[in-house]
Structure formats: structure tokens, C-alpha cells
Structure 1
Amino acid sequence: MFSDLPIRKIIHVDMDAFYASVEQMDNPELKGQPIAVGGGGKRGVISAASYEARKFGVKSAMSGTLAAKLCPDLIFVKHNFERYAEISKQIRNIFYDYTDLVEPLSLDEAYLDVTNNKKGNPSASLIAKEIRARILNEVGLTASAGISINKFIAKVASDYNKPNGQKTVNPEEVIEFLEDLDIRKFYGVGKVTAEKMYQLGIFTGMDLKQKSIEYLEEHFGKSGKYYYYVVRGIHTSEVKPNRIRKSLAAERTFSENLSSEVFMLEKLEHIADEVSRRLLKSKVSGKTVTLKIKYSDFSLQTRSKTLPYFINDKHLILDTAKDLLYQEKLKNSVRLLGISLSNLNTETKKEPEQKSVSVQLKFGF
């Protein structure tokens, strides 16, 4: 199966309930308590929940109102993104002690290619164990890890023994692992797609594997090809240490729905200021301004305009956003506004060379 493919030793490290765990670490009185980061107020949405809260069904992206009903003793904590970024940097520095091939996906997770690592350790499993131990001892938080031959399987495996665990899928175990896997566990298969697969009689990796690439493309479009290959253990994407940012955005959800463009201008000014601040901090500019509008019925609309020059000034961003706001009449009252800048002037950076190794059944995982 893998004879013509590069076999790598990939680790996916995923922090356990990261935001909530940081809050519990910094505030000892919150340890052991069901807490939610964000979600306060009538319109709040939860960003993270502690494992104590998850036992009640509380989870990220859930409204604070519903979470409070599920868990009456739930404690809401405000975000502290600067602190989360600070902790994330400490963790990332640990990764760099082992390899320069680190691809952060967010503040709390990253891929590491340790095929050729700085420690000269042939065992990716032992490296993952050592990294997790260092994160616990030096930072004070637990992490889970998945280890396998490519990014897809490593990511799926990292969720296998959460929290504070790890799972290794050796080369000779890949096919059986994927065939037995519940389709909901496949990275890239969301809730809606899983329901559609159920209706088509696809419940496990084995079921998925029985479908032809033509069948999958017919029912799932471009994603069909992706599903066809990953269930066969084929995923050739490399760990990309210099991921290029493609857009930068900020948005606000309002405590009360807004029904007039006039009332939205002040909100847009604050959002444009935030986008500009982030652009300047990242030392980038963009040409395409997109206005995001979420209505009170939760329908979503975006309006975009591409300028002939790069901008990062808040006044130019705001002027363009205003033009987009007045471009057409609003469909309904508005609960959220957002502004993003894309088509950025970032340049592709040269990435460290990644070498593959010859395939061996005993791969030192």
C-alpha cells in the first residue's frame, strides 16, 4: 500500500481543553470545577469547556444560555487570549527542541515531523511521550498526541486516548485502524457529512472503502476524492512550518440586534480598528475587504471588494466596509458584523527540506 509513498514519522500534539485548562492552572479555585471560557451574557458563545463541564454536555460553539441549562453550576470565565498565546509559545519552544518541522494549526495543536529529529531518537512514540512529559513539568498542562505515518492518521489518533494520553498507529496497523474507525472520527467528516454518509450506509472506514471514487465524488463533490484516499491511508501533505496566512479578520456579536446601517457604523469602526491593529502587528497588508453579516435568523451574507492596492490603514478599511454595508439593503436585523482582509502581500518562505525514509514494517514508532 505504501511502497510508492514517502513514509514519515508524524506527531500531532493536541492540548487538553486548552483555554479552560489555562484558566484552571492560573486560578486554583477553578480546579475541578465545571468552567466555560466565553459564553457569558445573553448572546455569548462558548470557546472552550473544562472536562468537568463536558460531562454535562457543555462544549465549544454552544450558546452560554444552553450550557447553563445543561450545567446549572457552570462557571463562566472571560477570555484571556494574550495569556493563551504566551503559554502556546512556551509549548512551541519545546517542540523546536526536537524538530524545526512544526506546523501550528492553532494555539493548542500542531503537527511535528520527527522523521529526522534533533535528538536522533528513532522512536516517534518515545519523542511524543517525552514532549508531553515536558509540557506537564515545564508548563503545568496535559497534552494528548497521535503518532503515525501521515498527518491525517496522526490527527485522528490524537483524539483516541484523550485526555492526557497518546495513540500510535504503526505502518502495519494503518489499514485495520482505518477500516474499524467510526466514520464520525474521520478528520474532515463533519456532523452534516456524517449524517449523509449514514443515509448512504457508510458507518465505518470499511464501508467507506467499498465505495468507488466516482461514487464518492458524485455524492460529496471534491471531498469525495479526499475520502477515497485517506481511508486507504494515503495522505501526502507535508508538515508545513511556514504556513502563510491567507486572511486576517475580526468580528463582533451584538447584545441586541441592530436594524439600521446608521447604528452599525460605530461598531464597524471598532472592528476596522482591530483588523488594522492585527495587520500592523503581523506586518502585512491586503487588497480584498470582505464584510460579514449574520442576521437575526442566523442566515449569513458576505460582500467583498478588491482594491487595486494593498491597505492596512483602519480608515481605508472602514471606508471600504461602509461601501459594502450600503451596497444593498439589509435583509433583516443584524446580530453580528465582521471584517476580513485577504489577498495579502505575504511571500512564500523557503521551508526546511523534508526527507522520506524507506518503508520498513518495523519503522521504529
Structure 2
Amino acid sequence: MQQLRLSKRSPRRRQWLGAAVVLAAAMSGQTAQAATCANVRIVVPFPAGGPADQLARTLAHGLQQKRGTPFVVDNKPGANGNIGIDTVRRAPGDGCTLLVAPAGNLTINPTLMPALTYNVERDFRAVSLLAGSPNVLAVHPSVKANSVQELVKLAQQADKSGKPLGYASPGVGSGLHLAGELFRHKAGIALLHVPYKGTTQALNDVVGGQVPMLFGTWPTLAPFIQSGQLRALAVTQARRSPAAPGVPSLAEQGVGGIDVSSWYALLAPRATPQQAADALSADVRALLATPAVRAELQRQGMEPAGSTPQALEARIRQETASWAKLIREYGITAE
């Protein structure tokens, strides 16, 4: 058979190259389609029922409707959220595994727990800020304090008797732990930190009277405050929150210099392509802007707050530096 020789300028060579490009594109499309996730797993590093879990389920439902792919929430609690976070760190960057994490794990733990298995900047790709909520200082109804000033006096008396008041939190290194430590320092009182493995466990023991008080998120505590099972004394920020307008701030009760609220973010393994993160971020922001999702999150006591990946990265970096300074200044440790 005579060999076909084509010059660089041959029309037939250009046709052959064009066909090769089309074939390669078709094969690439088939590969991409084969790599599509059977479902997307959203890892929540805390037990079911907490604010991060509720937020993740709202997000999963909306994204599943928007993208047509099943989104499944996977609760992996333990080690103050670090087990679940490490699970995502080790996942492939194929877009099939995502993480919903609270601010404390992203901006506080890196300083408070230097032996962490993960590094936020190195191991994760930011996708979007999701929502925020105020934190609340609440006490069991048996506690004889109806204001922060009365609680401070009660704590001073308890310390003199050698039995400092305890406060519960969902774990060492959480934003709620740090809110308690800042309150202790700013108010000049002794408090005993009682950490749990999640919000639900901490809340159960305070509602049951085993621990006198806790710092918690408004979405979690609101039903118990409204039912009288807990008494709200203050929001842990400079001003009152629109989510809880009837609860005074710490500052207006004489304990200033504390501004700690909770927020949650969506991240992916670092190997996830930036283009994929950008596309998912756009979908998340569009979803958070819909009236139905906004209403659902507000019902949960949260305020929707989508962002670009770049804006989320900047916020994590800035707050990590701020917390590191405070942790060093007050000598806060992961006891």
C-alpha cells in the first residue's frame, strides 16, 4: 500500500489533525463523565443535630436540587472536630468530598493545638462562607443570676469556696471555648472549662443541671431559652444581635472587649481544582440568596453569608492571626 505523505501545508493533514482534536475532546468528555460523583459527601465533623449539621443538611438539599447530583451529609465527630476534618484532608480532590467547618476549627485550633494533623492553608481549598450566628452565655434556671453582673458575683463567691463555676463548651479550641476564656479574663473571675465532644452533649448536661452554664450558638440554645429550660444572660459581642434583640450584650453589662460570633464555611481538599471551587462557590452563593433558603437559615437562627473563595481565604488568614495574638496574650491553653 502506498504511504500517504502530507506536507505541513496539506489540506488533508489539517483535516486529519482536526479529526484528532475532535476525537480527543470526545474521549476527554467521556472520561470526565465517568469521573462524575455518584454522590457528593459533605462531612460535618460534629454529631447530628448541631448547628453545623443543620446548615449542612440545608445546603445539601439545595445543591442536590440545583446540580441534580445526590449530596449526602456524613457526620464524623471526635477530637473536637479534628477527626472529620482530617478525613476530608485525606480525600481526593475530585469534588466528591466537601467539609462544613466552624470558625474555631479553622482559625483557633491551628494556634491552640500545634500538633494538628492538618494545616488549613496547605490542605484545604476555600469554597464559600456559609452563614453566621451570635453566641450566647446562658445558665441553668437554678443559677441565681439574672444578669452578667450577678453571675460575676456568684463566680467570685464560688471561687472563694474552692468550687469555681463550670461552663460547658462543644470542645477544646472551639470558638465557644475561647468565648468562655475571654469572658473569664475580662471579668476577672475563675471558671472551670468543661469540654464535650459536641454541642448536643454539652447542652444536655447544662439543661440537666450537671453544669451550671455554657456558651452556645443562638440557633442551638434559642428553643431551650424560649421554653425556660435555660436563661440567656448575654450575647458575646459588642452590640445586641438582630437574631436575639432581647438579649443584652456583654459590653452593655460591663464586660467589654469581647466580640465572638460563630460562622461556618464550606471547604474542599486542596487538590480540588480552583475552577471547580469557583463554580461550586457561585452555586452556593446563588442558593444562599434564594428566599426559601434564607428563610430556612433565619429560622435556624443564622444569617446567610456567601462569599468568594478568595474572600473566605482572606477571612481565615486574618482571624487566625487575631486569635493567635489573643491566645498568646492571655496564655490560653488546650487543657
Q: TM-score, normalised by structure 2?
A: 0.27
Quick check: which one's helix share is greater? Answer: 2
Max Rg structure: 2
Say which structure, 1 or 2, has more relative contact order (CA 8 Å, 6+ apart).
2
Q: TM-score normalised to the size of structure 1? A: 0.26
